[in-house]
Amino acid sequence: MGLIKFGEYLLPDQIYHGDSRVLLRKIEPESIALSIWSPPYYVGKNYEKDLSFDEWKNLLREVVNLHYSLLKPGGFLAINIADILCFKDVSMPKIMAENISRRKIGITRSQIMGVMKQHPEWNRYQLTAHLGCSEQTVDRRLNGNNIRGGNIRHRPGCLLSVE
């Protein structure tokens, strides 16, 4: 772990452990091309349980603001934070906001196979339009795999390849 000497900037390729609001002030200006930050979400974890809602917002604000002078021109700050619903009233629960990508689709393998049997001439676009779901969902139900990432182009027949 790197040690910080008075008046010196933090060294590159070192790991520093501390409060980001303190450490960021010791980084050389315009020296960061990409900063990746996973801040507290304000969901009652041990490391944030003593923060008030305003203190939490101030932490986020301060760390974001400190980045302005640290990033190289064209540099990025990427913040990894979930969709959280927070309420000023401390008695209100802090809950994850709905993430539509986590929604379960109710379509079953046998429903898909039924439609395919009824309409064997349909291509995958007609099939998914009829079912109201994505090609990924159909492929997962039929083949138990995930075609995300463009693999479908290399396996044009896989969507309808049920035994």
Ligand X SMILES: C[S@@+](CC[C@H](N)C(=O)[O-])C[C@H]1O[C@@H](n2cnc3c(N)ncnc32)[C@H](O)[C@@H]1O
- What one-character-per-residue DSSP string does 131-154 give? HTS-HHHHHHHHHS---TTTHHHH
Looking at residues 123 to 142 of the shown chain, list those that interact with ligand X (rule: CB under 6 A): none
Give the type of residue at 62: E
Is residue 41 a contact residue for ligand X (CB under 6 A)? yes
Is residue 47 a contact residue for ligand X (CB under 6 A)? yes
Minimum gap (Å) between residue 41 Cβ and ligand X: 6
Which of 39/75 has CB closer to ligand X? 39
Quickly count: other Cβ atoms within 10 Å of residue 8's Cβ: 10
Residue whose token pair is 């927070």: 86
Which of 66/160 has CB closer to ligand X? 66
Q: Which candidate, 78, 67, 77, 80, places its Cα nearest to that of 40?
A: 80
Which of 44/114 has CB closer to ligand X? 44
Contacting residues toward ligand X, per CB under 6 A: 19-21, 38-41, 47, 59
